[in-house]
């Protein structure tokens, strides 16, 4: 019997239009004064309107902080904390993609426990407590609404993460209608991102890789693989949008407990240096990291390949892992996501720096099925060039 721990959000509410019920669902949780943490795009798309209106209708005073940007720097987190403090908040609502949800998590934690941001980087450094927290995703990709991690940009080329079960929300509210207006490119990239979460969670060698995470990862891949083409072709496809949101959540819960590895470790430097969306950077290195991992992860890849691509299950067992990798690479190109580093401005002269930065992601690399050296990292980038 292998011991494990599985942490999850206290409550998950799913359904069409449920964002309009947030006031009723969270009235007894959030208290009388709430800060909604979001970004300008969410405001301009009017996705914040039903959330704000629902809170106000139930007697909750709600202010909106809409200054979150992609890969949020520390300054944005501190601005949000100051705004929340000045408003005298009793609870936090995060609304948006992974960046908004990550900032919301940190605001709730820093205000609740009075800890400085610099003191809580790393794993289980936060003491808490935190303010009541509700997270409402508007993308199907990061799974941040059910993960205990928040990532912040700390310099021009470096990111740091806060990892603590305190960051798991009291309520994750999933409303597929909030994802209908996502542009095709964002839908595709975030969908691939969610698939990466499931793949790495299933195949990682972390001691906490457990049967619940693996179960969630398999179902996530089934939902995502079955629906991602439909949502890219038809953005308002209700069933496919619902499946993507559920799949993203399951993949998030999987890697929240059975962590990701070298795909993310090599993706982060690409995002930092070339300002690329996280889903795109994951997609760029995914098949190349998986091919590198084959000697150690062939059995795991062969097991989950048919979940995303049923035709893989019809192949001889010896071919399934390779066919899974090839199918993922083909899917990325089919969805219009860049497939080569050269397409996004990366050149041969960048590979040494990228590899050096990837090796700094020790908390991720330790989970990878196969050890990665500096030379290995450079060779993977070169294969993706």
pLDDT in tens, 267-325: 999 998 999 999 999 999 999 999 999 999 999 999 999 999 999 999 999 999 999 99
Of the pLDDT bands very low, low, confident and very high (cuts 50, 70, 90), residue 139 is very high
Q: Work out the pLDDT band at 253, boundaries 50, 70, 90.
A: very high
Half-sphere exposure for 216 (CA within 13 Å, toward CB): 27
Question: With b meaning 16 or more CB within 10 Å and e meaning fewer, what string describes 63-98?
Answer: ebbbbbebbbeeebbebbbebbeeeebbbbbbbbbb
Neighbours of 29 (CB within 10 A): 17
With a cut of 80, say whether residue 156 has pLDDT above it.
Answer: no
How far apart are alpha carbons 225 and 374 in whole angstroms? 33
Lowest model confidence (mean pLDDT) among 65-79, 145-159, 256-270: 145-159
**Band (48; pLDDT cuts 50, 70, 90):** very high
Mean pLDDT for 93-101 is: 97
**Least-confidence region, from 42-51, 75-84, 234-243, 322-331:** 234-243
Residue 234: per-residue pLDDT: 87
Q: Confidence band (pLDDT; 50, 70, 90) for 187? A: very high
The pLDDT, as a whole number, for residue 236 is 84
128 sits in the region (left: phi over 0; alpha: psi -120 to 50; else beta) called left
Computed over every residue of the chain, the mean pLDDT equals 96
Most confident range (mean pLDDT) of 1-5, 94-98, 158-162 is 94-98
Q: Which domains does the chain have, with CATH numbers?
A: 12-178 (3.40.50.1970), 184-384 (1.20.1090.10)
- Does the structure show a pLDDT above 90 at 378? yes
Cβ neighbours, 10 Å, residue 371: 11
145, 88, 142, 94: which is closest to 111 by C-alpha? Answer: 88
Predicted local confidence at residue 2, as pLDDT: 86
Rounded mean pLDDT, 49-55: 97
> Does residue 27 register a pLDDT over 90?
no
pLDDT digits (tens, 9 = 90+) for 118-132: 999 988 999 999 999
- Residues 7-18 have a mean pLDDT of 96
- Predicted confidence band at 154 (pLDDT cuts at 50, 70, 90)? confident
Strand-pairing partners, residue 93, are: 36, 134
Residue 100: pLDDT band with limits 50, 70, 90 = very high
Stated pTM of the model: 0.95
Provide the H-helix boundaries in the chain: 22-30, 40-44, 48-57, 74-87, 98-113, 117-120, 184-203, 211-233, 238-257, 262-274, 278-308, 317-334, 351-358, 362-365, 374-384
Q: Is 71 left (phi over 0), alpha (psi -120 to 50) or beta?
A: left
Give the lowest-confidence range in 172-176, 234-238, 328-332.
234-238
Say whether pLDDT at 219 is over 80.
yes
* Whether residue 152 has pLDDT greater than 80: yes
3-state secondary structure of 73: strand
Q: State residue 326's pLDDT score.
A: 98
Where is average pLDDT lowest: 38-47, 48-57, 155-164? 155-164
The pLDDT of residue 157 is above 80: no
- pLDDT-based confidence at residue 101 (cuts at 50, 70, 90): very high
State in Å, rounded, how far the first CA of the chain is from the last one.
Answer: 43
């Amino acid at each position: 019997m292998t011991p494990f721990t599985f942490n999850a959000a206290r409550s998950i509410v799913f359904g069409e239009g449920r964002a309009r019920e947030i006031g009723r669902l969270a009235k007894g949780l959030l208290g009388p004064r709430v800060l909604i943490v979001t970004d300008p795009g969410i405001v301009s798309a009017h996705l914040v309107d039903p959330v704000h209106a629902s809170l106000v209708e139930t007697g909750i005073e709600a202010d909106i902080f809409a200054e979150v940007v992609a890969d949020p720097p520390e300054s944005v987190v501190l601005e949000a904390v100051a705004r929340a403090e000045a408003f005298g908040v009793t609870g936090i609502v995060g609304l948006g993609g992974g960046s908004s949800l990550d900032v919301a998590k940190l605001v709730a934690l820093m205000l609740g426990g009075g800890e400085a941001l610099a003191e809580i980087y790393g794993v289980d450094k936060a003491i808490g407590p935190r303010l009541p927290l509700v997270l409402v995703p508007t993308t199907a990709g990061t799974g941040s609404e059910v993960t205990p991690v928040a990532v912040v940009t700390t310099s021009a080329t470096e990111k740091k993460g806060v990892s603590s079960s305190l960051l798991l929300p009291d309520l994750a509210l999933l409303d597929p209608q909030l994802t209908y207006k996502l542009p095709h490119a964002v839908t595709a990239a975030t969908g691939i991102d969610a698939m990466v979460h499931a793949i790495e969670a299933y195949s990682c060698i972390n001691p906490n890789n457990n049967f619940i995470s693996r179960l969630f990862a398999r179902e996530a891949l089934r939902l995502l693989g079955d629906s991602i083409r439909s949502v890219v072709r038809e953005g308002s496809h209700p069933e496919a949008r619902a499946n993507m949101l559920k799949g993203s959540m399951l993949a998030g819960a999987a890697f929240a407990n059975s962590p990701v590895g070298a795909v993310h470790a090599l993706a982060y430097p690409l995002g930092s240096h070339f300002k690329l969306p996280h889903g795109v950077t994951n997609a760029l290195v995914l098949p190349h990291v998986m091919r590198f991992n084959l000697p150690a992860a062939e059995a795991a890849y062969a097991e989950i390949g048919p979940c995303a691509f049923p035709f893989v299950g019809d192949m001889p067992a010896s071919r399934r892992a390779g066919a899974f990798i090839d199918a993922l690479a083909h899917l990325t190109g089919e969805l219009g996501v860049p497939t080569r580093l050269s397409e996004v401005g990366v050149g041969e002269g960048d590979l040494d720096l990228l590899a050096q930065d990837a090796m700094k992601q020790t908390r991720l690399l330790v989970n990878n099925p196969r050890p990665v050296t500096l030379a290995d990292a450079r060779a993977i980038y070169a294969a993706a060039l």
